[in-house]
Amino acid sequence: MASGLTDDELQKLYTWIDEIPLSRPKRNISRDFADCVLVAEVIGHYFPKIVQLHNYSAANSSPQKLYNWNTMNTKVLKKLGWQVTKDEIEGIIMARPGFIERFLHQLQFKMAKYRANGGPVRSAVANNPPPPVQQQQQPQQPQQSYNQGAIPPPPPVSATGYDRGALQKEVDEEILLDKEQTIQELKETVEILELKIAKLEQLVRLKDSKITKLQQQVGGVQSN
């Protein structure tokens, strides 16, 4: 699979993340973690002294996401004795399947190693370090869970109150959000290209003006 993790490893990873209080509803783990804000919250849950949450602002644009990840790389992950590559960051920012799972799996073990080496841990979790997840409880709110594989099949529609129309609407909203984000990024790219074109046109006009002046000077010399 894209993450390189087994189904069992993924299930344990999602269970671990589900048990950490996060500031956003759980929808799609690749998109939810793309701007690095929730990564900062995960680390801050265990090691609040090494991460400053105010350094990470919610972002839709790729440049702001990249800024957040570069900050995370240099100010936090470095303290854990680890930094992610540009290719890995790009994959996470673009919400490519499997990238964030692979990152979080590595992060889980780096944090456990950091704690074992004497890293400062929040007192509330001092006896509950970020493990390779073994015996953890199921999330209390399965409707906001990444670990869909561990959730029993849904009961009949009459018991849940959900129908296909509602589910389809939710899917359509997710698709619309993706498209809007793509459109915004394309608009930003177009604006940058338009600025470059305008500068090039200005340079061409300046060169044409210089050529015209030189031709006039040459013509004046020849006439004399």
Q: Confidence class of residue 186 from pLDDT cuts 50, 70 and 90?
A: confident
User: Which fold is adopted by the domain 7-141?
Assistant: Actin-binding Protein, T-fimbrin; domain 1 (1.10.418)
Within its chain, how far is the Cα of 171 from the centroid?
20
Tens digit of each residue's pLDDT (9 = 90 or more) over 16-56: 999 999 998 888 999 999 999 999 999 999 999 999 999 99
Average pLDDT on 125-143 reads: 44
Within 8 A by CB and 6+ apart from 85, the residues are: none
Average pLDDT on 103-127 reads: 78
pLDDT of residue 165: 55
Within 8 A by CB and 6+ apart from 177, the residues are: none
**Quick one: 71 exposed, middle or buried, by C-beta within 10 A (0-12, 13-18, 19+)?**
middle
Exposure b/e, 120-139, CB count within 10 A at least 16 = b: ebeeeeeeebbeebeeeeeb
Q: Confidence class of residue 2 from pLDDT cuts 50, 70 and 90?
A: low
Q: Does residue 68 register a pLDDT over 90?
A: yes
Grouping H, G, I as helix, E, B as strand and the rest as coil, residue 50 is coil
Lowest-pLDDT choice from 8-12, 138-142, 218-222? 138-142
Within 8 A by CB and 6+ apart from 4, the residues are: 98, 102
Q: Percent of the chain scored above 90 by pLDDT?
A: 47
Taking the whole predicted model, whether its pTM rises above 0.85 is answered as no
Q: Does residue 135 register a pLDDT over 90?
A: no
Q: Does residue 138 register a pLDDT over 60?
A: no
How many of the other CB atoms lie within 10 Å of CB of 205?
Answer: 10
Question: What's the mean pLDDT when you consider all of the chain?
Answer: 79
Q: Please report, to the nearest 10 degrees, the dihedral formed by the alpha carbons of residues 215, 217, 223, 224 taken in order.
A: -160
Q: Are 5 and 13 in contact (CB under 8 A)?
A: yes
Q: Confidence class of residue 63 from pLDDT cuts 50, 70 and 90?
A: very high
pLDDT of residue 67: 95
Which helix or strand (DSSP H or E) is residue 29 part of? helix 29-32
Q: Confidence class of residue 220 from pLDDT cuts 50, 70 and 90?
A: confident
pLDDT of residue 34: 96
Average pLDDT on 86-91 reads: 94
pLDDT of residue 148: 54
Tens digit of each residue's pLDDT (9 = 90 or more) over 155-167: 443 333 334 455 5
